[in-house]
Amino acid sequence: MTRARKGIALLSLTGLFVAVYLYLYKIGQIGTLVCGTGACETVQLSPQSRFLGVEVALIGVVGYAVLLLLAVLSLQPRFAGPAWPSRLLAVLSGIAVLFTAYLTALELFVIHAICRYCVASAVIIVLLFLLAARELRRSAAPAA
């Protein structure tokens, strides 16, 4: 079990809660986002809060849940050897980073508002990707 995979699991869980919080807001279960600036509502109520007809927050929930599941599974002793869990984590988190970059661009240039939860998620996913990349390098390196 590596530190990187543990870190990925913890970050995925944290990201999952951020995404669930935003999704609960979108479906009307949470009245007001704890935001302070009001920019969170601007972003969450914008047309860009949906991607191909699906709530972006829901995409986040599913994405983080998949990463969490994969990270926890990869911590099992029988998956410690194979390189595929590391590859899959790197690929999925890489896709998530690209999607996050697209969403951040929308916030900056289309919506003109920055949601702090989106920033938190962006930081989480970038850290997660860096850990996944490190883990991939480690698993690809020949055993000493």
Partner 1 sequence: MAESPSGVNRFYLVLGAVALAGIAALVYQVRKPKAVSIPANVTVLTADTAGFRGYLVGSDSALIEISEYADYQCPACQVFETIQFPAVREQLIATGKVRWRYRDFPLEMHPNARVAAHAAACAEEQGKYWELHSAIYDRQPEWADSRNAAGILSQLAGTLGIDRGRFDTCMSSAKYAGRIQASLDEGVRLGVGSTPTFLIAGRLYPGALSSDSLRSLVEHNQVPPAP
Which of 4, 8, 30, 108 is close enough to bind partner 1 by CB under 8 A?
Answer: 30
Query: Closer to partner 1 at the Cβ: 94 or 114?
Result: 114
Angle at 15 between CA 70 and CA 112, to 5 degrees: 135
Query: Under a CB-based contact definition with an 8 Å cutoff, are residues 107 and 115 in contact?
Result: yes
User: What one-letter code names the amino acid at 81?
Assistant: G
| Cβ proximity to partner 1, 91 vs 112, nearer residue | 112
Helix (H) or strand (E) run with residue 29 in it = none
Identified binder of partner 1 from the candidate list 17, 82, 105, 137, rule CB under 8 A: 17
Does 127 bind partner 1 (CB under 8 A)? Our answer is no
Interacting residue with partner 1 among 38, 53, 81, 142 (CB under 8 A):
38
Q: Does 48 bind partner 1 (CB under 8 A)?
A: no
- Binding-site string for partner 1 from residue 101 to residue 120, where x marks contact by CB under 8 A and - marks none: --------------------
CA R_g for the chain: 16
Residue 6 engages partner 1 in binding (rule: CB under 8 A): yes
- Which residues make beta-bridge pairs with 50? 55
6 to each of 11, 37, 60, 78, 111, how far by Cα in Å? 9, 34, 20, 16, 35
Task: Give residues 70-89 in contact with partner 1 (rule: CB under 8 A).
Answer: 72, 75, 80
Q: Tell me the CA distances in angstroms from 36 to 8, 29, 33, one per residue in order.
A: 29, 19, 8
Pairing of strands 50-51, 54-55: antiparallel
Q: Which residues bind partner 1 (CB under 8 A)?
A: 1-2, 6, 9-10, 13-14, 16-17, 20-21, 24, 26-34, 38, 41-42, 44-45, 72, 75, 80
